[in-house]
Amino acid sequence: MGVAAIETLTEALYQQGFSKVDEFGLYVTYAREDDAIRVHVSSDGSFAVFDSFDELITEGAGMKDFFAMLVSRDPSPREGLSRRRVAMRNRAPAL
């Protein structure tokens, strides 16, 4: 994945209200204010989304996976559900 693709992924995070909160090694962490969700983005374009308990919610690589996550896995609370319940509902089944 090229630099332009990483910049596109970063811009998509900014458009969703995320901002850069940490940088360590090859990863940059993004978070939203008043939201327990953290998105770790690697320099190769892969990403992992974690909840407030540092449990993996979803992961992927590139824009296609990222936009699929945004559409199918809304990490924000809906209709009064707690963040934890939303995260658990969206969590992929263990293999």
Q: What are 53-85's pLDDT values in tens digits?
A: 999 988 998 888 888 877 765 544 433 334 444
Domain region containing 16: 3-90
Does residue 54 lie in a domain region?
A: yes
Please classify residue 18 by burial: count the beta carbons closer than 10 Å to its beta carbon, then call 0-12 exposed, 13-18 middle and 19+ buried. Answer: buried
C-alpha span between 2 and 86 (Å, rounded): 33
95 in any annotated domain: no
Total tally of structural domains belonging to the chain: 1
pLDDT tens-digit profile of 16-55?
Answer: 899 999 998 888 999 999 888 899 998 888 899 998 899 9
For residue 86, give the DSSP letter.
H
